[in-house]
Amino acid sequence: MQNVKYISRVVNIGDVPMGGDFPIRIQSMTTTNTLDTQATVAQAIRMIEAGCEYVRITAQGVKEAKHLAVIKKELKKSGYTTPLIADIHYNPKAAEVAARIVEKVRINPGNYTDRKKGKPSYSDSEYAQEIEIIREKIRPLINICKQYGTALRIGSNHGSLSERILLKYGDTPAGMMESALEFVQICRDFDFHNIVLSMKASNVKVMVQANRLLVKRMTEEGMNYPIHLGVTEAGDAEDGRIKSAAGIGPLLADGIGDTIRVSLTEDPELEIPVAKEIVSGFNERDKRCEITRIENEISDPFIYNRRQTLPVDKVGNGQVPVVLLSWDISKANPYSFDKGFIPDYLFNSKTGRLQKLSVSNDELVIESSRIKLAFIESEEELEKTSTKFSGETVLILETNPNKSLHELRRIINLLVKKGINQPVIFHRDYSDLSEEKLLVQASSDFSFLLIDGLIDGIWISHNRMDMKILSRMAFGILQATGSRITKTEYIACPSCGRTLFNIQETLQKIKHRTSHLKGLKIGVMGCCVNGPGEMADAHYGYVGAGKGKITLYKGRQIIQAGIAESEAVEALVTLIKMHGDWK
C-alpha cells in the first residue's frame, strides 16, 4: 500500500472548521421526526454534550427544511451553536431552503436529480446531456451556498448510485468515486470549493477502497477536499462498533479522513464515545505525519488480494485467517468457549508451543501442534532470523499499541521482497486498555492488515480479559473485514427522521429469531427511500414502507409489500424458510 499523507484544505462549517490541521471532527445524525422540535432539540443537545461537533438532521421535504430554522433557534436559546447539517435526498428544493438556514447541506449525487428511467444504456451524448441537466439543477444550490457561506457534502453511498453511473461503472468503488467527482467538477466550474466528500458502504473493503481511489484521483488532479468517513448500516452493539472501527481506523492510520460518523442502530449520543475512541491517537497531526511511503508496494490498494503463503497446518495458503489466543493454564478453562467461536490455536506461555483446537462429535479436542513460532518485531530482526525458518514456521508479528502499524506493513513488504512465504499472524497485547477501548482499537489495528490480505491469523491478548470475550471479538473482526464468516450479518441503518417504526427494537427481534443463520446477510432499514439500495448485498431485507408498514425483500426484489409491522418479523422468518435458507 502506498502511504501518501493526504493534507486537505480547510472548509468552514459555521465556527467549527474542518480539514487542514484541525482535529478530526466527530459528527452524528438525529433519529427523531424533524418536525418534532422538542424531541429533535433534546436529542441534538444530548449528542452535543457527548462531544458531537456537527449535528445532521434529515430534511425530506421543504417543510422539514424550513423547520430547521426553528430547531436552530431553539438550540441557540439553550446556548448551543453547534453547526447543523441538512440531509437531503431526491429534493433539490429542500436543499435550497436548507442551505439558507444551516451551516452545511449533504446531498447524495446518486439521487439529487437522477431518477431511474430503466434505460439499458447511455450513449456518450446522452451521458453528457445528463451532466448538463445536473449542472442546471445544482446551480441554484451552489449560488445559495456561496452567498450564505454554507458548506456542501457530496456523499456517495454504495447501493445508491444513479442509473447512469451504474451502467457505466457498476456498483463499485470506482462508480462511487466517479459519481461524486461529477458533482465536484460542476462545483469547481462555478468556483465553489466549500466541499466535503464521502464514500460510504456497509462493506468495509468497498468503503476503504473507494476512499483510497478518491484520494488517489484527487491528488493526481490537484484537489484536496476534506473527507468524511463512515461505514453505513453497521448495525448495533459489539458488531456495529467493530465494523465501524474496522472501516474508519485503517484509513485514518493512512492519513485519510477529516471527520467521521459512526453509524449505529442505537441512540446517536452512544455513537460519540466510539467515534472519540477511533480518532484518539490520530488527532495529533505529527503522529499522522509518521506515515512514510513504502517503495515496493506489496498489494494493490484498490483490489483485495491475499498474500500467497505456504500452508502450515491450518494457517496460510489461502485458508481462512486463524484465531490464536494466549492460554494461561492456571487461570482459564478452554472448554468454556461459545460454540462457533472456538479459537484455532492456544499459545501455552509455559511451553512456548501452540495447542490446536478442533471439535469432534460435539466435543472440544485439544492436541499439540507441530507449528514452530518465530516472533518478529522489526525488519532488522527478520533479516537476522529468516535463514532459520522451516516449512513448519509461522511468523508472529508483534508491536505494542504505541508503535506505528506501518512498521508491520514494512516487515511484510520485506518478506515479499525476500521471497519468504511463511504465513503471518499479527499479535498485539492490549492489557492496558479497558474492554470498550480494546474493542475499538483492536478492530482498527487488525483490520489495517486484514483488509489488504496481508495476514493469515490474528492474536489479541489482554491479561485480565476472559478468553471467551477475546475469541468472540477476534471472530467479530474477521467477520467485519469479510475475512472469515461465522455468524449472521445484520446490515441495519441508524434510522433518521424518515424512520416510521422502532428500528432498535425490531433489530433485536430479528436478531433473536435469526442469529443462528451463519453467513446470511439481513438488511433492516428504516425507509424505502434509501433502504433497498443501501442494504446492498443483503440476502433478505426488512424495510420500512410507511407508518406501521413493512416491505420484505429477497435480494433486491420486493416479495411482500405493506405488511403490518406486528406481523413482519414472522413474515421474514417464513420468507427465509420458503427459500431454504433456514438451518
> Contact between 399 and ligand SF4 (CB under 6 A)?
no
Whole-angstrom distance, CA of residue 221 vs CA of residue 66:
37
Cα–Cα distances (Å) from 101 to 27, 65, 79, 121, 206, in that order, read 19, 8, 18, 39, 34
Minimum distance between the CB of residue 531 and ligand SF4, rounded to whole angstroms?
4
- Walk across the sheet containing 345-348 and list its strands: 363-368, 353-360, 345-348, 322-327, 457-461, 424-429, 393-398, 372-376
Q: For residues 34 and 471, which CB has a smaller minimum distance to ligand SF4 in the complex?
A: 34
Position 269, amino acid: E
Build a one-symbol-per-residue string for 435-474: x at contacts with ligand SF4 by CB under 6 A, - elsewhere: ----------------------------------------
Q: How many residues bind ligand SF4 (CB under 6 A)?
A: 13
- To ligand SF4, the closest distance from the beta carbon of 161 in angstroms equals 15
Interface positions, 328-367, toward ligand SF4 (CB under 6 A): none
Angle of the 237-253 helix axis to the 467-480 helix axis, nearest 10:
60
Buried b (16+ CB within 10 A) or exposed e, 315-328: bbeebebbbbbbbe
529 in helix, strand or coil?
A: coil
Window 499 to 528, contacts with ligand SF4 (CB under 6 A): 499, 525-527
Asked if 89 and 529 count as a contact pair (C-beta separation under 8 A), the reply is yes
Rounded Cα distance, 480 and 243, in Å: 5
Instruction: Between 301 and 526, name the residue whose CB sits nearer to ligand SF4.
Output: 526
What x-and-dash track marks residues 533-562 binding ligand SF4 by CB under 6 A?
Answer: -x----------------------------
Which single residue brings its beta carbon nearest to ligand SF4?
526
- Our CB check for ligand SF4 shows the closer of 223 and 527 to be 527
| Among the listed residues 144, 167, 146, 142, the one whose alpha carbon sits nearest the alpha carbon of residue 97 | 144
Using the minimum distance from each CB to ligand SF4, give the nearer residue, 476 or 494.
494
- Residue 236 vs 456, nearer CB to ligand SF4: 236
Q: Rank residues 265 and 326 by Cβ distance to ligand SF4 and give the closer one.
A: 265
Question: Please, what is the minimum distance in Å from the beta carbon of residue 178 to ligand SF4?
Answer: 22
> Is the sign of the CA dihedral 70, 75, 81, 87 positive or negative?
negative
3-class DSSP state of 118: coil
531 touching ligand SF4, by CB under 6 A: yes
In sequence order, the β-bridge partners of residue 373 are 394
Task: Supply the minimum distance, in Å, between the C-beta of residue 211 and ligand SF4.
Answer: 20
**d(C-alpha 114, C-alpha 183), whole Å:** 12
Query: How far apart are CB 59 and ligand SF4 at their closest, in Å?
Result: 11
Closest contact distance (angstroms) between CB of 133 and ligand SF4 is 24
Smallest separation, CB 60 to ligand SF4 (Å): 8
In this structure, the number of other CB atoms found within 10 A of the CB of residue 226 comes to: 26
Query: Of 206 and 496, which CB lies nearer to ligand SF4 in the complex structure?
Result: 496
Q: Residues 471 to 500: which contact ligand SF4 by CB under 6 A?
A: 493-496, 498-499
How far out from the chain centre does Cα 392 lie? 36
Q: What count of residues does the chain have?
A: 583
Q: In what order do the strands lie in the sheet with 540-544?
A: 489-492, 521-525, 540-544, 549-554, 557-564
Segment 194 to 213, residues that bind ligand SF4, using CB under 6 A? none
Contact region with ligand SF4 (CB under 6 A), list: 341-349, 377-385, 507-515, 530-538: 530-538
278 three-class SS: helix
Residues near ligand SF4 (CB under 6 A) are 493-496, 498-499, 525-527, 529-531, 534
